[in-house]
Structure 1
Amino acid sequence: MVFGGDMKSPTVHKFSYTLFNMRQDIALSVFQTFVQRNLRGVLGRVTMLCHILQSTKDLAVPVVVSEYIHQHLDGESIVEVKPSKGHLLLLSSPYIIIPVLLCHIRK
């Protein structure tokens, strides 16, 4: 459900395999770090251009979080909400991510 993509995709399968074969104590520690970490205080120190891509159906992070980040960054930022599922767009919708990355690489 978090991936939102094709669970038969080799990339998603490899990522899932790695994730589910992690030692439970390490997996719990990593998960707690992500969930409990509050980085809102450092957003104002980010001064470079940020391109924020958000999935319309992200079970982990709602769209309002992207808007919050956009409003609190010190540098210029762009928010794009894409019609896709999942939190990890790189795995679930690479066709969305690749053009954005290529655009920024060319700049």
Structure 2
Amino acid sequence: MADPTAQNDPPDPTGRQSGFLTVMTTTDSETKARKLARGAIEGRLAACAQISAPVTSVFRWDDAVEASQEWQVLFKTAEARYEELAAYLLDAHDYDTPEIIATPITRGGAGYLSWVAEETS
């Protein structure tokens, strides 16, 4: 049986898996979103990045309520690559405080998660 604490082991056949994340960020243009996505994939920091059509973000910044159009980038990665992915996003992003939110993948297709493990190792 595979070690459930191992970061890049393929998932078990039941679909239960720890060690994989989705990581989301936003940026203010499609061009910037594509650049962030491409850099992460080229560096094997993520197996896949999906760019969502513009969303409207409403937030407080410098004591004012702001609204802006942003593009979401959702990365699929191994938990073991999170720190490097976050560091890349902080370095490559032009926001002072970029959104970087990681969510654990608690279940997923065994073949897909095996692919994520392979692409991020």
Give the TM-score normalised by structure 2: 0.27
Q: Which structure is higher in strand share? A: 2
Give the TM-score normalised by structure 1: 0.29
User: Which has the higher relative contact order, 1 or 2, with Cα contacts under 8 A spaced 6 or more apart?
Assistant: 2
